[in-house]
Amino acid sequence: MQMISKLPQLMEVAGIDQKTLAAQTGLSPTTVGKMYRGHFQRIDNHTIKTLCLYFGLRKIDDLISIQWEEGDLEGAQA
């Protein structure tokens, strides 16, 4: 499974860069940078809430999506 960040697209539409997003949201530049590059293993509730509020998102899948890989769902309950 891979989590895909939609932050680059959201920032492009908003016309902002990583430094601006960090300053305007209070998130650390490191957190913003990792989300932007998709280099994260987990994301905490505060980060999700902050980014969703900032961009006016109503669903978490407007911020991140999950790409399942073959074998990820083996043994999962249906």
pLDDT in tens, 6-22: 999 999 999 999 999 99
Q: Which of 64, 2, 55, 1 is nearest to 27 (CA)?
A: 55
What is 2-67's CATH topology? 434 Repressor (Amino-terminal Domain) (1.10.260)
Buried-exposed string 34-73: b where 16+ CB fall within 10 A, e elsewhere = bbbeeebeebeeebeebbeebbeeeeeeebbeeeeeeeee
Give the C-alpha separation, 58 to 40, whole Å: 22
Given a cut of 50, the residues of the chain with pLDDT beneath it are none
Q: What's this model's pTM, rounded to 2 decimal places?
A: 0.85
The residues spanned by each domain of the chain are 2-67
On whether the CB atoms of residues 68 and 23 are closer than 8 A, the answer is no
